[in-house]
Amino acid sequence: MVLKELIKGLNVLNITGSDNVEISGIAYDSRKARKGYLFVCIDGTTADGHDYIPQAIENGAVAVVVQKDAKLPEEICMVRTPDTRYALAYLSDAFYGHPSGRFKLVGVTGTKGKTTVTFMIKSILESAGKKAGLVGTLGSRIGDRMLYTERTTPESFDLQSLFSEMVDEGVDSVVMEVSSQGLALHRVSCCDYEIGVFTNLTKDHIGPKEHASMDDYLEAKTRLFKMCKKGLVNNDSDYVNEIKKKAECVLLTFGIEKKSDIMAVDIVKHPQSIEFQVVTPWFSDKIKVNIPGRFSVYNALAAIGVCGMLGISGDAVKAGLEKVQVSGRAELVNTGRDFSVMIDYAHTPDSLENILNTVKDYAPGRVVSLFGCGGDRDRTKRPMMGEISGRIADLTIITSDNPRTEDPEAIVNDIEEGIKKSGGRYIRIVDRREAIRYALNNAAAGDVIVLAGKGHETYQTFKDKTIHFDEREVVAEILNECQGI
């Protein structure tokens, strides 16, 4: 594609050199630039793409998009624009022929529930005979085939490339997690959303490398509802009115407490599932989800609302929800013992409270809560999570999560401040493997051990290294070691 056609419609401040040059590809990483490429300079948190222009040109780039002054060889075209992050999204969408306009795209945003809701929607769509793609925390996929992505919401060029691949494979629907960072950093700009979904908003992602405040976090979330044709929002959320005020689309609501367009009534909790009667504008029926907890009702209502808006039948909704499973979300691990182990991604105060209360409802023995908090993230939630665990669990084991550049002992100290206030019984074991070993070795009949915070993750990140750490494997290894004891 010729550069002048590619940049048509983009806010261009000035151009030096000829824009009548053929572009064979786009790169935002200078190492990936090739002959005939357009290099887009992104000013990131750790590196500035403008500093790597010479390397991109050396690798074959014939044109560069900048938002700062730069000196280039005369034969290289330079396009200056106010925001290269937006420019990357615009150019990538144009380069791939606006792929998101060629299927039904659903975006799900919120602090909690994004992954589960997207899996639920995909399962329902497939039960209805649709060919669905998925983009999110647990990777991207077409049907059962996994596709590699680095982030929950990929960088805009990678996302458009992925969409193009999905179009080529005949996908008719795509459901994706839309992170607040993805919205704030223009990763999803120029996407053609049919439906946007808001699950909830709780204290998370506040820090120097993420959002400056809850207001900033909320503002990022609301952007989705200025990009979609229709919206679906959690009517029980404290932030729903802010979303409604800023939305630029037709909105439907879902909820349990407040009168909503899609509602759940007659909720019945079981140890490994939850059932309820759903009332919608399209159908009413009894629903079963094999993921326990009240939070599963909210997730299911979001999925039901989306699929109802897409014209999916009630029978497909029932079938899709009953068979859905999500790694690391209230995931029970087979121990072969008289106690249970559950792995859950809960890493915020609300999500930890939800999963512990869910387990408390049915646990025949003690509830043992094992968790830590991530380093380089909002410190204020650490004592809050300590207090919650101390109040609900019969025993809390405070340990590490992903300490990143922080001292693991210091993170545990922060959590301990909160748990002391609760008066709950607890123990500190900073090494997560040893903490799990203690929990398993000291489990009594009927206990439910909740390993919270890691969920689907198969690694642990420290200041100087990232190690493989899959809690399913860790549990199995420790139980095998104990066979003869």
Last residue of a domain, one of 42, 71, 95: 95
**Phi, psi angle pair for 141, to nearest 5°:** -155, 155
CA end-to-end distance (rounded Å), the chain: 68
Rounded-to-integer distance, Cα 349 and Cα 339, Å: 25
Per-residue burial over 171-202, b = 16 or more CB atoms within 10 Å of its CB, e = otherwise: bebbbbbbbbbbbbbbbbbbbbbbbbbbbbbb
Check whether residue 294 and residue 430 sit in a common domain: no
Per the prediction, the chain carries an average pLDDT of: 94
Residue 423: which CATH number? 3.90.190.20
Least confident range from 117-121, 221-225, 229-233, 275-279: namely: 221-225
Instruction: Give the pair of three-digit tokens for residue 380.
Output: 């204020």
- Asked whether the predicted pLDDT for residue 258 surpasses 80, the reply is yes
- Asked whether the predicted pLDDT for residue 485 surpasses 50, the reply is no
Least confident range from 204-213, 255-264, 380-389: namely: 204-213
Check whether residue 255 and residue 314 sit in a common domain: yes
Instruction: Give the pair of three-digit tokens for residue 469.
Output: 């750490």
Residue-wise pLDDT for 124-144, tens only, equals: 999 999 999 999 999 899 988
Residue-wise pLDDT for 196-217, tens only, equals: 999 998 755 445 555 456 777 7
Q: Do the Cβ atoms of 166 and 172 come closer than 8 Å?
A: no
Q: Render 273-292 in DSSP notation, one character per residue.
A: EEEEEEE-SS-EEEEEESS-
Rounded-to-integer distance, Cα 293 and Cα 107, Å: 24
Check whether residue 253 and residue 267 sit in a common domain: yes
Share of the chain above pLDDT 90, in %: 87
pTM above 0.85, yes or no: yes
Check whether residue 126 and residue 168 sit in a common domain: yes
Q: Do the Cβ atoms of 16 and 85 come closer than 8 Å?
A: no
Check whether residue 62 and residue 20 sit in a common domain: yes
Residue-wise pLDDT for 146-165, tens only, equals: 886 777 889 999 999 999 99
pLDDT at 211: 46
Give the H/E segment covering residue 300: helix 294-309
**Domain total of the chain:** 3
Between the alpha carbon of residue 146 and those of residues 130, 140, 160, 163, 303, the distances in Å are: 17, 6, 17, 14, 22
Three-state DSSP state, 328? coil
Rounded-to-integer distance, Cα 293 and Cα 367, Å: 15
For residues 417-433, give the mean pLDDT: 97
Check whether residue 299 and residue 335 sit in a common domain: no
Residue 75: which CATH number? 3.40.1390.10
Strands (E), 111-155: 132-135, 140-142, 145-147
Give all strands of the β-sheet with 340-344 in edge-to-edge order.
Answer: 331-333, 340-344, 448-452, 367-371, 395-398, 426-428
Instruction: Give the pair of three-digit tokens for residue 439.
Output: 């929990």
Last residue of a domain, one of 304, 323, 342: 323
- Asked whether the predicted pLDDT for residue 466 surpasses 80, the reply is yes
Residue 138: which CATH number? 3.40.1190.10
For residues 40-64, give the mean pLDDT: 95
Q: Do the Cβ atoms of 374 and 432 come closer than 8 Å?
A: no
Per-residue burial over 229-250, b = 16 or more CB atoms within 10 Å of its CB, e = otherwise: ebbbbbbbbebbebbbeebebe
Check whether residue 73 and residue 139 sit in a common domain: no
Q: What residues contact residue 29 under an 8 Å CB cut-off, 6+ apart?
A: none
How wide is the angle at C-alpha 114 spanned by C-alphas 111 and 119, nearest 5°?
165
Per-residue burial over 207-228, b = 16 or more CB atoms within 10 Å of its CB, e = otherwise: eeebbeeeeebbbbbbbbbebb
Last residue of a domain, one of 323, 339, 372: 323
Length of the chain counted residue by residue: 485
Rounded-to-integer distance, Cα 233 and Cα 77, Å: 45
Check whether residue 337 and residue 421 sit in a common domain: yes
Check whether residue 78 and residue 106 sit in a common domain: no
Instruction: Give the pair of three-digit tokens for residue 482.
Output: 């104990």
To the nearest 10°, report the CA torsion of 380, 384, 387, 391.
Answer: 180
Q: Which domain covers residue 310, as residue numbers? A: 99-323
Check whether residue 359 and residue 224 sit in a common domain: no
For residues 236-265, give the mean pLDDT: 96
Check whether residue 281 and residue 148 sit in a common domain: yes
